[in-house]
Structure formats: structure tokens, C-alpha cells
Amino acid sequence: MIGGDGIWARWFRTLTCLFLLVWLSLPMVPLAIWSFAHGWFFPDILPQEWTLEAWRHALSDKSGVLDALWLTVGIALAATALSILIGVPAGRALGMHRFRGKAVVEIMIMAPIIVPGIAVVLGLHSVFIWMGLTNTVSGVILVHLIPTLPYVILVMAGVFANHDPAFEAQARSLGASAFQTFRCVTLPAILPGIIVGALFAFLVSWSQYILTLIIGGGRVATLPLVLFNFATSGRNDLTGAIGMLYILPGLLILLITARQLSGCAGAVGGLGRV
Amino acid sequence: MTRVVLDQLCKTYSGAHGAAVSQLDLTLDSGTMTALLGPSGCGKTTTMKMIAGLLDPTGGDIRFDDRSILRDAPEARGAVMVFQDHLLFPYLTVAGNVGFGLKMRSVAPDEIAHRVGEMLEKVQLPGLGQRMPGALSGGQQRRVALARALIIKPDVLLLDEPLSNLDAHLRMDMRDLIRSLQAETGITTLVVTHDQEDAVVLADRVALMLDGQLRQVGPPRMFFRRPVDEATARFFGGRNFIPGTCRCGVFDCALGPLQLPQGARTGPGRVTFRPEALRLAASGNGRNTVRATVTEITYLGTQTRLRLMSNGTEVEALVPPTDADGLKHGAQTLIHLPVPALWVID
């Protein structure tokens, strides 16, 4: 329906919007309450007693939660940087050039998103053991590239598909060296795409559980692993507190970039054009 | 001042059958403006990109002042290309665009600002430096692209279709601007265009290119008066090609014996003359005057186009509308073919 601005259409839109908001945020509410509760039992609607105990424990040195937080940040940043480093040239090749077997390459890049991670990682495990990469942070960073790269490559392929290489030729002709051309012409044009790709990569790496567990062998304890430990041991209050920490970067990124993201619709829209 | 020599220049794209440009020999004299003219797909932009260093030739050489520049990177050649789509960097202001080349050469910001201001005045866009390119009209964007190229004082200026997609009056203004800036700076300039009128108005010399090959090079009027072949004549609006034989300066054809100018070739061939060179005559006594019947009259505004039949041969004429006022379909008239207007081709 084009230009459906009738009163019912508007109501429908508002209702859908509200429904989505509630649907997405509702599960977080009990989590937040639990993190401040000193016991919370049926049929109480709210806990009888409130406490900061869970937070105090989570943020203390002995719980290891903060170590896990920094480790997760480090791994996610490293995986993001590597994804950008590999994904930008790959996206350029896919977005701007035709070559034999391009469709096959595209499917191969999509494969890690489609194939269950656990199947991939079980096969990879033996290779990583052989290469001595299991139980190491670098091994975990490498294995995180499997799910992060496809997102970066897809976003960048969309960006480059809309990128006119004639701008680069024009810059060279005007006296810019190859490096200057990249810095002053190509980079500003693709930067919105890089930001979007980097956010995807960061959040995808941030939320990895099974890949980290198997390749890290439990020695590389990222936040999701720590969180899962507490969740399965029945400490709902600690789970709540760590859970709140865990969703923090996602919320932060969303807040910081919400405006830019809506402003650079071209980059996001590029995803749909691949 | 730079003299540009294209020496047996060739380009074949991989996967294409047939060369885009084959064995092109062309010299751009120092300080002149040359138009590379031809229909789309004739290889003219390919040629320009090879000079700019954006495409590698498959054969031949390009020399600036007798020095081969084929191994130089595009930014080191001293040749600047202005693209057809003007390609202003959308995230830079107008001033940022115009100053781009200077910034790449690490010129001090103060001097860049000063020279950008000067340059914007030269292209008649003073005070627009802080606008974004998207806020400008098409004609203004063209002028910014021209300023951006001229500000770095290139040895060679390459303009790819600088007048395409402009309104009629903007086109005239832009022509004048390009001509005056070229005359003022004395930069050796090559203009690629598909429009013969632009080529004729802009350039000191025209090079006509058809199917990757150069057909004729010379001052603009040669293409009207002395075309080398039918394709060249037709490209410039030639319509009349009448077969016959030339002996001792007289051409024998269906229109009767026609007196030819000196230098015309002898033997079998075709006589050609431009539609606007033909005159309606009052009396039948003069040389090269023949009787004809009007078969079609079309009023074109500034001219009237006549189709005439003479001895079973069709002739097309463009005459001032007042001359054709009395004529009706089927009328008998006398037409005069001035001797200097005739030329013989294959």
C-alpha cells in the first residue's frame, strides 16, 4: 500500500510499534528486578526485599565478572578489526567486479550464517587442536570471524555496489596518490558502511557462546560463558546483574549510533541491495 | 605549454572482438584546443582515459613534449580529466572540491583558500564555496568541476563531453566559458564530444573518429567544405552525394556537367555539396545551374528544407525561409550549385 495514511493505517502502525517495543523489552524487566532482589518468590509481584548485593558481588574482583567483561570486549574488538580488514576488500571485490564463480563465493560467504555454528566448530576443533589454537584467546578471536565476516562482507558488498569507481579515477587525475585517494575519496564514501559492518561484527562476536566454549575449552571465559554458569547454578540475582552488564554494549551502541544509522540509510539500505 | 603526441595508439578490451581504438595518430599542438568528435562508442573516451592514465593502451605510445608518459602514474602526468558526470565529491563543500588538487599537493590552507576564491570567480560562481555540491544546479556543478581541474594548472586538460545534458542557453554560456578560460590559460586542451556543433564552436582543430579510427583531422571548416568521405560528410550534415565522373575540372552526372573548384580529384566518384550551399536561382544562364521540381517543403524555423528532383536525382537544400516563400509542392525552379561548394569523394 503506497501512501496509506488513512486513520486505520496510522493506528495499525502505532499499535505494531508499541507491541514490538513491549515484546522486545519485557523479558529484560524481570532480569533487572532480579538483580536488585533479595529473594523473589511466587506469588509476590515484586520482591519483598531489595539489595545491591548481587551488583556488589558481580563488580567485585573475586567474582571474575569484570575480567570476563574486559576479555569479551577485547575479543570482540579484535574480531571486529580483523573482520573489517578482511571484509572491506572482499566486499569491494564482490560489489564492484564480476568474476567467474562469483555466485559460489557468495554462497560460501553466506554459509556460516546458514550452517549451524556447532556443526562448523566441531569440525574446526580438530584443525585448531592440530594448529595449537585451542584454549587460546587468539583461537577464539579467529573462530569468531566465522560468524562476523559474512555480515561485514555483505554490508560492504552493498556499499561498494553503489560506489562509483570513477570518483577514484577522478581523484587520481586531480593529483591524488593511490593512498591519498583511498583516504580522501574512498574512505569517506564507505565509512558509513564500515561503521554498520563493525557494529554487526562487534555484537555478533559479543554474543558468541558455543564457538567460544568449544575452541576456548572453557579456559577463555567470556561474559556469556560466565553468565551461563550463573544461570544454570540458580543464582537468579547474579544472573540478573551480569545479564544487565551483558546487554550494556548493545544498548550503548544503539544509543550512540541511532542517529547516524538513520542518517546513513544508504549504507544500511545497501544490505537489501546485495 | 605542452605538445601531446598520440603515436599508433591502440586499445582492445579483453573479451571484446575488435579494437576500441586502433592505430590512432594524433598531435595536439601546444596551447590549442582540439575536439575529438564521434558518435558514442567510437573510442573517443577510451582515448582520453589513456591520455589521463586511467586505462593502459594495448599498443602505441603517448608523448608529452617528446617524453613518453605511459609509465607515469595518473597523478604524475600533468594531465587532468574532467569527467562527463562531473563527479563532485559529495561530502566536500564546493571549496573543498575546487581545492582538492591543491590539498593533495600539500599547498598551505591559506593559499588554497585564496586560489579557490579566485578560481570560483573565474567560473562565475563567487561566494558559493561553502555550499554542498548537491545544492547546485547542473550547470553550476559543471563549472565547479572545471574550476577543480583548472586550479592545479595542468599541462593538459581533458574534457569529456563538457556540454552534454545542459539546456540550450547554459550550453552556450559553458562553451564561451571553456573557450575564454582556454584562451586565457593557454592549456593544451582535448575535448571529447559527440556533437559536431560543439566541436566546431570550441575547437581550433577537429579530429573525427568513427569505429575506433581517425577519419579526418583539420580545422572545423574542412569538414564542411572538404570531407574525406561520405561518412565524414554525413556526420556533419552532408546529404547530397551524386555519382559521376570528373574530367578536366568538370563533373559529369545526372544533374549535367558541373564546374568543380581547383584541386578536386579526377576520375569516377561522387560530387557532394552541403544542403545550405545550394541556391535558388532566378535565371538559367549561370554555370552549374539546373532545373528541378520541388517534391517536399519543410519549414524548420530559421531555414526551410527543400527536397528537389532533377533528372531523376534527388537533391536536398536548406534555404532562407523568405527564398522559399513562393514555392509550392510540384513547382519548377532553378537551382544553382556554387563552384567553391562542390567537392568530389570516392
Structural domain for A83, as ranges? 50-273
Nearest alpha carbon to residue B192 among B25, B40, B20: B40
Mean pLDDT to the nearest integer, B91-119: 94
pLDDT digits (tens, 9 = 90+) for B215-234: 899 999 889 989 999 999 99
pLDDT for the residue numbered B323: 86
Predicted confidence at residue B186, as pLDDT, reads 92
Residues A241 and A235: their CA atoms lie apart, in Å, by 10
Question: Which of B54, B89, B152 minimises the CB distance to A175?
Answer: B152
Q: How many domains does one find in chain A?
A: 1
For residue A43, the model assigns a pLDDT of: 80
Q: What does each C-alpha distance from A98 to A102, A161, A233, B12, B196 come to in angstroms?
A: 7, 11, 53, 19, 36
Q: Is residue A192 part of a domain?
A: yes
Residue A121 has pLDDT above 70, yes or no: yes
Average pLDDT over residues A140-150: 94
Mean pLDDT for chain A overall: 86
Task: Decide if A203 is inside a domain.
Answer: yes
Cα separation, B277 vs B258, in Å, equals 15
CB-CB under 8 Å, A169 with B80: no
Distance from CA of A2 to the nearest CA of B (A): 28
Asked if residue A3 has pLDDT above 70, the reply is: no
- How much is the pLDDT for A2? 52
* pLDDT mean across residues, chain B: 90
3-state secondary structure of B126: coil
Q: B238 Cβ partners below 8 Å, 6+ apart?
A: B227, B230, B272, B274, B275
* Coil, helix or strand at residue B269: strand
In a domain, A9, yes or no: no
Interface touch A173/B152, C-beta < 8 Å:
no
* Average pLDDT estimate for B293-322: 91
Asked if the structure places residue A145 within a domain, the reply is yes
Q: Does residue A265 register a pLDDT over 70? A: no
Can you give the pLDDT at residue A173? 93
B274 C-beta neighbours (distance < 10 Å), count:
21
Q: With beta carbons under 8 A apart, name residues in chain B contacting A189.
A: 91
Does the structure show a pLDDT above 80 at A257?
A: no
Are A35 and A244 within 8 A, CB to CB? yes
Stretch among A104-118, B36-50, B95-109 having the lowest mean pLDDT: A104-118
- CA distances from residue A226 to A80, A204, A213, A267 in whole angstroms, order as listed: 22, 17, 11, 35
The pLDDT assigned to A260 comes to 61
Confidence of residue A268 (pLDDT cuts 50, 70, 90): very low
Reply yes or no on whether the pLDDT at A267 is more than 50: no
Q: Please report whether residue A83 resides in a domain.
A: yes
Task: Give B168→chain A minimum CA distance, Å.
Answer: 27
| pLDDT above 80: residue A87 | yes
ipTM for the complex shown: 0.82
Query: What pLDDT shows up at residue B202?
Result: 92
Q: Which residue of A has its CA nearest to B48?
A: A173
pLDDT at B297: 92
CB distance A173–B73 less than 8 Å?
no
Q: Do A174 and B152 touch (CB under 8 A)?
A: yes
Q: If we measure between CA atoms, which residue out of B241, B259, B240, B239 comes closest to residue B249? A: B259
Restricting to B residues 21-50, those with a Cβ less than 8 Å away from any Cβ of A are 49
pLDDT of the residue at A244: 87
pLDDT in tens, B240-271: 999 999 888 889 898 888 999 888 888 899 99
Closest Cα in chain A, distance from residue B13 (Å): 15
B285, with CB counted inside 10 A (0-12, 13-18, 19+), is exposed
Whether residue B36 has pLDDT greater than 80 = yes
Which residue on chain A is closest to B54 by alpha carbon? A169
The residue with greater pLDDT, A85 or B248, is A85
The two beta strands, B240-247 and B250-253, are: antiparallel
Q: Which residues of A touch B73 (CB under 8 A)?
A: 172, 177-178
Question: Average pLDDT, stretch A159-177?
Answer: 92
Amino acid at B53: G
pLDDT at residue B145, rounded to an integer: 94
Place of cell 495499525: A12
For residue A86, being part of any structural domain is answered with: yes
pLDDT of res. A218: 84
**Residue A198 zone, left/alpha/beta (φ > 0; ψ -120 to 50; rest):** alpha
* Confidence bin at B132 (pLDDT 50/70/90): very high
> pLDDT tens digits for B139-186?
899 999 999 999 999 999 999 999 988 888 889 999 999 999 999 999
- The number of C-beta contacts closer than 8 angstroms across A and B is 62
Give the tens place of pLDDT for each residue, A199-253: 989 999 999 999 999 999 888 989 999 888 888 888 888 888 888 888 888 888 8
Q: Are the beta carbons of A98 and A167 closer than 8 angstroms?
A: no
Measured between CB atoms, does B117 come within 8 Å of chain A? Answer: no
Residue of B nearest to A169 (CA): B54
The string of DSSP letters for A123-182 reads HHHHHHHHHT-TTSHHHHHHHHHHHHHHHHHHHHHHHHHT--THHHHHHHHTT--HHHHI
Burial A172-201 (b: 16+ CB within 10 A, else e): bbbbbeeebbeebbbeebbebbbbbbbbbb
- Paired strand residues for B306: B297, B317
Which residue in this structure is represented by grid cell 570471524?
A: A145
| From A83-87, A100-104, B94-98, B216-220, the region with the lowest mean pLDDT | A100-104
Binary contact (A174, B105; C-beta < 8 A): no
- Inter-helix orientation angle A137-161/A117-131, to 10°: 130
* Alpha-carbon span B316 to B318, nearest angstrom: 7
Confidence check: pLDDT of A272 > 50: no
Strand-strand pairing, B188-193 and B33-37: parallel
Residues A69-90 have a mean pLDDT of 95
B207-218 pLDDT tens trace: 999 888 888 999
Q: Do B54 and A172 lie within an 8 Å CB cutoff?
A: yes
pLDDT confidence of residue A270: 39
Report the CATH number at residue A202.
1.10.3720.10
Model confidence at A271, pLDDT cuts 50, 70, 90, reads: very low
Does this model's pTM top 0.80? My answer is no
Nearest CA in chain A to B146: A174
Q: Do the bridges between strand B205-210 and strand B213-218 make them parallel or antiparallel, or are there none, so unpaired? A: antiparallel
| HSE, side-chain direction, 13 A CA sphere, residue B123 | 27
Q: Is residue A75 in some structural domain? A: yes
Residue at A11 is within a domain: no
Q: Across the beta sheet with B267-273, what order do the strands follow?
A: B256-259, B250-253, B240-247, B267-273, B343-345
Query: Which residues are within 8 A (CB) of B246 and not within 5 positions of it... i.e. 6 or more apart?
Result: B252, B260, B264, B265, B266, B267, B268, B269, B271, B344
When pLDDT is averaged across residues B272-287 and rounded to a whole number, the result is 84
pLDDT above 90 covers a percentage of chain B that reads 58
Q: Nearest CA of chain A to the CA of B129: how many Å?
A: 19
